Structure 1
Amino acid sequence: MTTAEPLRITHIGGPTTLIEVGGWRLLTDPTFDAPGRRYAFGWGTSSRKVTGPAIPAADLGPIDAVLLSHDHHGDNLDDTGRALLTGVDTVLTAVSGARRLGGDTQGLRAGQNTRLARSGRPTIEVTATPCRHGPPLSGPIVGDVIGFALRWAGQQHGALWITGDTVLTRRVRDVATRIPIGTVLLHLGGVRFPITGPLRYSMTARRAVQLCAALRPHTAIPVHYEGWQHFQEPRDVIERAFTAAPPSVRDSIHWLSPGETATVTA
């Protein structure tokens, strides 16, 4: 019987987390710039960063791979994050992002697989999962985004899934039918911009409850809800939605404030 590997997750801020398992150190969506700057997201949208990272990039230590949902928005990859990529052997992202970043960056389309393999460590199978970073037909405007499902030997509850920036769609919901999920990092925030009115560009708390009801994960960790002006649903809004959810959903939520680390059963 394969021994389960302890899974440690540290929330650094925004969408940025450090994932440690079996000797691997993986980083998601590196955002390490100081607060105060306004970033343009295209088509008249912009946002100001209001909170810096809980852990500076210089204090991270070695990173084996970066899982980058998309490269073209500053709240998922900023200038300090781009500099960090140059010292990482493996960077996985969407196909269009890999073309922009160049070098050895590996591009994946939703449904494609790759592996992280190194002697003395468990091999991690990485599957790119679908995202839609906005309303229907917004793809050409908002650009390509992917999530990541990670599987390795010994997982007791199922894969680790990083949803990436997405609203809830049928394809996103269908991940639960194709991949058993044990732990999910939920990119939330209910992003909106004044120029586009009520349109949402990331998942709301209400939709996250619906997704978790379909997934039935052992552990659900909200990220991507604080630190920026365009995040419209802070922690208290998310907490209310999950408090009102059925027990199987409510009990799965595990909060990590920026800077906190949790060891979860994968």
Structure 2
Amino acid sequence: MKDVRITHIGGPTVLIEVHGWRLLTDPTFDAPGRRYTFGWGTSSRKLTGPAIAAADLAPIDAVLLTHDHHADNLDDAGRALLATVGTVVTTTSGARRLGAGRGLTPWAGTVLNEPGRPAIEITATPCRHGPPLSHPITGDVIGFALRWESQDHGALWISGDTVLYDGVRQVAGLVEVDLALLHLGGVRFPVTGPLRYTMTATDAVELCRLVRPRTVIPVHYEGWQHFRQGRAAAEQAFAAAPDVRVRWLPLGIGTDVAE
């Protein structure tokens, strides 16, 4: 993918720089140490802070917020940052709760326009943030497929927090993907036992063999107690799948993503 720089800041938080645009995903900038509740008896402690402070990122043109109601995707410092950003794209229920932003349902779209820059088309993709029938508890979540005119090999796709299920498999038939930012971590909570709320690397391999991205960048695998599969375990799973091209980014360092 030409002329794209990705900076992994921590957890799901990524800065995407493309043709003058500065887009931020799921802003999480609180200091480590605090425990957050996620509802229905679930909670987790943040273990590491962001690799870059929010104050050092300005300006941000738009935030792509997969969901607003879990602190590992939007914490207090992230909420404060939203007030400084011109555009927030999120779920329809999230936009209502925030009182602002462009709310999307799966497969709906919007466009970012700015003079002197190429338009970026954003399409929301499906997510299910847990096992079957968990939606009333886990709430609405979306991913994002980003397209702009100079792309040669397809979209930049952000999976969002999701397990592997038929909805996310639809991406394979509807979106040509060049670069995929996949939310991993194999999230589990003691109170719900073996149930998972995000993909493991094994799930990601299965999904990638359907979607066939040219490059995969893992995110959302470190920094929290409830992320149960870290980088080392994920690397082992990806090593058994040489047909999936994985690129691990250093935290806090902008990386040019070339073809």
TM-score with structure 1 length normalisation? 0.96
Q: Equivalent residue of 1:207, what SS?
A: helix
1:202 aligns to what? 198
Question: Helix, strand or coil for the counterpart of 1:82?
Answer: helix
What does residue range 110-189 of structure 1 map to in structure 2 within 5 Å?
A: 110-189=106-185
Q: Does 1:29 align with 2:58?
A: no
Q: CA deviation at 1:12?
A: 0.1
Distance in 2 (alpha carbons) for counterparts of 1:262 and 1:218: 16
Distance in 2 separating the partners of 1:174 and 1:65: 26
Structure 1: distance between partners of 2:255 and 2:179 = 12
CA apart distance, 1:5: 4.8
- Which residue of structure 1 aligns with residue 68 of structure 2? 71
**What's the secondary structure of 2:55's corresponding residue?**
helix
Partners of 2:142 and 2:258 lie apart in 1 by: 25
CA distance in 1 between counterparts of 2:221 and 2:250 reads: 11
Runs of 4+ in 1 over 3 A off after TM superposition: none
Q: In structure 1, which of residues 96, 99, 103 is the aligned counterpart of residue 96 of structure 2?
A: 99
Q: 2:243 aligns to what SS in structure 1? A: helix
Q: Could you tell me the percent identity over the aligned residues?
A: 69
Q: Render the CA deviation track for 1:101-141: whole Å, top value 9, x for unaligned.
A: 003x1100000010001111010000000000000010000
Structure 2 residue 53 is the aligned partner of structure 1 residue 56: yes
Deviation at 1:94, TM superposition (A): 0.4
Shift of 1:149: 0.2
TM-score by length of 2: 0.98
8 Å CA contact 2:2, 2:257 repeated in 1: no
**Secondary structure of the equivalent of 1:190?**
coil
Q: Distance in 1 between matches of 2:65 and 2:180?
A: 16
Q: Does 1:108 align with 2:101?
A: no
1:248 aligns with 2:243: yes
Gaps of 5+ in 1: none
- The one-letter amino acid of 1:49's match is K
| Residue type at the aligned position of 2:243 | S
Unaligned runs of 5+ in 2: none
* Displacement after TM superposition at 1:260 (Å): 2.5
Distance 2:253 2:227 in 1: 20
> Any conservation in 2 of the 1:156–1:265 contact (CA below 8 Å)?
no
- Report what 1:258 is aligned to: 251
Give the 3-state SS of the residue equivalent to 2:32 in structure 1: coil
